[in-house]
Structure 1
Amino acid sequence: MTDKKHKTPIGILQDIEQRSRSMAHGLPQQAAKKTEWIGIGFRLGDQRMVVPLDEVTEILTSFSMSRVPGAKSWVLGIANVRGNLLPIMDLAGYLRGERSHVRNISRVLVVEHEDINAGLLVDEVLGLRHFPEDSRLQNMAETDISVSPYLDRAYRIDEEEWPVFSLYKLARSPLFMQVAV
């Protein structure tokens, strides 16, 4: 047995360290964080889709607008958003020729890409959606032909497929730029 009176202060500290290490619990294992893709879910009719988070500048909940004479039926009008004029388009009207009905749950997704600024009316915004990268589909299911030129990819979560609708592809489309009758 070692006499504690004759131990040096360094020896005592080393003894305490050794006992502490033998009694200490290790840190919990750090699980490798899976990369995920984040988008904003929305509904257009009965179809659910998601847009890339970085393609949406803001989401408008209420707005007043003025009609634009001589514009196509899917051009709903011009809204004054904090001093900036923003054309408001009916996304369902543009894609499918079906006019949307503005309801309390309807929202406007604002896109600003290159020189294009536009608000796109959708039936409902479903909030942020997180998709693990391993849920990305190699092949998308057949979709409405009017939507397919603007789709980037799709993800599957809980047996539900979420196509990714690119607002930037829409903004670059020559058809989208032709708003006059």
Structure 2
Amino acid sequence: MSENAALTPFELLAHYERACLAHSADAPESVESLGLWRGIGFRVGRRAFVSGIEEINELLAVPPLTHVPGAQPWLMGVANVRGNLVPAIDLGRFLFDERTPASERARLLLVRQHGGTVGLLVDEVFGQRTMDEGQRDTGEQENDPRLTRFVSENVQLGEQTYGLFSMSRLVRAPDFRQAAL
């Protein structure tokens, strides 16, 4: 029998509250204290990337989009996300001039930018990735000229190589900010 079975409902709720408070957002996580870096892994075309977990606000299945006339081809339209209009960018088309195919795995990464939020369509999200300083120190420089302004280096995590992709550099890029034709 569980030790919680002997508690009254009120005592059980108080126990859950204490447990939740012990793991509150303000409490430092042990991952950070060990010098580990956390990011969200995703795929655009054939390339795998990882961005800092603090740079991506939310992951969504691709919502219905409304076309925006007179926009760059990589601006797919705007989405209504809980009452807020969010521009949806095909990241594959922006980076490589290759349209991201519609699939069950495609996701919209919501990223904050000056003046609001932008959604970035990616082929697939791999979830959280963690690396230590040693893995980051052994990273190799990005060679693709289309990516060097956004990818600081490429790191090996297990069998997969990930480009460290800076969302903050992306949303500040003049060509990214100019979505009108």
Q: How many residues align?
A: 149
> Which residue of 2 is the match for residue 79 of structure 1?
79
Secondary structure of 1:170's counterpart equals helix
Task: Report how far residue 101 of structure 1 moved.
Answer: 1.0
> Which residue of 2 is the match for residue 128 of structure 1?
128
Find the aligned partners of 2:114 and 2:70 in 1 and give their Cα distance.
Answer: 25
Q: Give the structure-2-normalised TM-score.
A: 0.77
Find the aligned partners of 1:130 and 1:138 in 2 and give their Cα distance.
Answer: 15
Find the aligned partners of 1:151 and 1:175 in 2 and give their Cα distance.
Answer: 16
Superposed, 1:1-181 pairs within 5 Å as 34-138=34-138, 140-158=140-158, 160-181=160-181
CA-to-aligned-CA distance 1:132-176 (integer Å, 9 cap, x gap): 121113552443211111113443223543211011100000010
Structure 1: which 4+ aligned runs deviate by more than 4 Å? none
Find the aligned partners of 2:94 and 2:142 in 1 and give their Cα distance.
Answer: 20
Q: Which amino acid aligns with 1:39?
A: G
Q: Which amino acid aligns with 1:114?
A: H
> Which residue of 2 is the match for residue 17 of structure 1?
none
CA-to-aligned-CA distance 1:26-51 (integer Å, 9 cap, x gap): xxxxxxx7421000000011111101
Structure 1 residues 116 and 153, CA, compared in 2 at 3 Å: closer, same or farther? farther
Q: Which amino acid aligns with 1:68?
A: V
**What's the RMSD between the two structures over aligned residues?**
1.6
Find the structure with the greater CA-based Rg: 1
Q: Give the structure-1-normalised TM-score.
A: 0.77
- Percent identity, aligned pairs only, is 37
Secondary structure of 2:92's counterpart equals helix
- Contact in 1 for aligned 2:41/2:127 (Cα 8 Å): yes
Find the aligned partners of 2:103 and 2:160 in 1 and give their Cα distance.
Answer: 25
Q: Which runs of 5+ in 2 are unaligned?
A: 1-32
- Contact in 2 for aligned 1:140/1:163 (Cα 8 Å): no
Secondary structure of 1:55's counterpart equals coil
Q: Which amino acid aligns with 1:57?
A: N
